[in-house]
Amino acid sequence: MTFPREIDTPSVTILLERVQANIDRVQAIVAGAGIRNRPHIKTHKIPAIARMQIQAGAVGLTCQKLSEAEAFIDAGVTDDILITYNIVGRRKLERLMDLSARVKRLAVVADSEAVLRGISEVALERGRVVPFLVECDTGFGRNGVQTPAAAVALAQYAATLPGVRFEGILTFPVGTDAAKVFLTEALALFKQAGIEVPIVSGGGSPALLKIEDFPMLTEYRAGTYVYNDVMMMASGLARLEDCALQVRATVVSRPSPDRAVVDAGSKILTREQYYVKDFGRIVEYPDAVVSNVTEEHGVIDLSRCERKPEIGEVVNIIPNHCCAVSNMVDNVYVLSQGEVVDVLPVAARGAVW
């Protein structure tokens, strides 16, 4: 199977050598800081790539949802998984117990007494003990206890419940002064309370650049680094040649001299922007940008380009956020030396429950 003839558009390709280089580089960064690597599979959602991460030295995997964990347990990738999401509701808790019986360690997070009580009740019925980390909001403004004292209090409350076992604290992202202050204060309070904290878990690919500033961390959860994208380039973590995931698209219209339209719209590139502008970069035309996307159309601004693509030309787009793109397709095409060497199912695609 050769690259030009066999891949229709729009489609997602990954460059194998870049994926391996990204895995090796970040494994070296994390291990060099004396920290265990627990990569997040939300970026690729593919067991074969997770195996590459484990083979490179990762101690286990991070999943966001139960259904993601189920896909990777089914694939037999590892027997040590952390789910970094509050699990709430009887149905989900029963699924958690079913999955935990299939692996050596399936840990979760909690940021309230209500979440812990739910886990405890079903774990007691099933005769299981579920390890958990207290999630801490260190400035991101999402889940997590709001103060170091609240983290200690939740761990103390867990000690009164059957079926749960406190193993540490977790936050996302690290890399900020606020996160460092929070974690330092929390660990001091845990020490005063006589509570051991075996795990201090941090995360975020851009924050890898500051990992040495967080000596209290014992494990690290990063995901985007495996592919990289426009956001990672903007953060300084990656260069263009580190971006392993590309959306292959065909120019289907040139309605004006400074505008092209490709067959990849929001249903594959997504509309995510975060802290970057536009909706993607064109590998073959560095001065072009994806200025807008509708469902099936990607609009390319060519105003800064001397050389411009023609109708029928195939281009490769680096998306803003590769994690969202992975969830838009059933399969990705693996390229090595310009040829397709594999087609990998995105096993955890749509695994959001």
Q: Which domains does the chain have, with CATH numbers?
A: 3-10+235-345 (2.40.37.20), 17-223 (3.20.20.10)
Q: How confident is the model at residue 11 (pLDDT cuts 50, 70, 90)?
A: very high
In terms of DSSP bridges, do strands 245-256 and 11-15 run parallel, antiparallel, or are they unpaired?
antiparallel
* pLDDT tens, position by position, 253-271: 999 999 999 999 999 999 9
Give the whole-angstrom CA distance, residue 37 versus residue 58. 5
Instruction: Determine phi and psi for 164, rounding to 5 degrees.
Output: -130, 150
Predicted confidence (pLDDT) at residue 165 exceeds the cutoff of 70: yes
What would the 3-class secondary structure string for the chain be?
Answer: CEHHHHCCCCEEEEEHHHHHHHHHHHHHHHHHCCCEECCECCCCCCHHHHHHHHHHCCCCEEECCHHHHHHHHHCCCCCEEEECCCCCCHHHHHHHHHHHCCCCEEEEEECCHHHHHHHHHHHHHHCCCEEEEEEECCCCCCCCECCHHHHHHHHHHHCCCCCEEEEEEEECCCCCHHHHHHHHHHHHHHHHCCCCCCEEEEECCHHHHHHHHCCCCCEEECCHHHCCCHHHHHHCCCCHHHCCEEEEEEEEEEEECCEEEECCCCCCCCCCCCCCCCCCEECCCCCCEEEEECCCCEEEECCCCCCCCCCCCEEEEECCCHHHHHCCCCEEEEEECCEEEEEEECCCCCCCC
Q: How confident is the model at residue 4 (pLDDT cuts 50, 70, 90)?
A: very low
Q: What is the pLDDT of residue 3?
A: 47
Predicted confidence (pLDDT) at residue 154 exceeds the cutoff of 80: yes
User: Taking residues 226-245, what's their average pLDDT?
Assistant: 97
Q: How confident is the model at residue 1 (pLDDT cuts 50, 70, 90)?
A: very low
Question: Is the model's pTM score more than 0.85?
Answer: yes
* pLDDT tens, position by position, 94-123: 999 999 999 999 999 999 999 999 999 999
Q: What is the mean pLDDT of the chain?
A: 97
In the chain, the percentage of residues whose pLDDT exceeds 70 is 98
Q: What is the pLDDT of residue 294?
A: 98
Predicted confidence (pLDDT) at residue 137 exceeds the cutoff of 90: yes
Give the whole-angstrom CA distance, residue 6 versus residue 57. 34
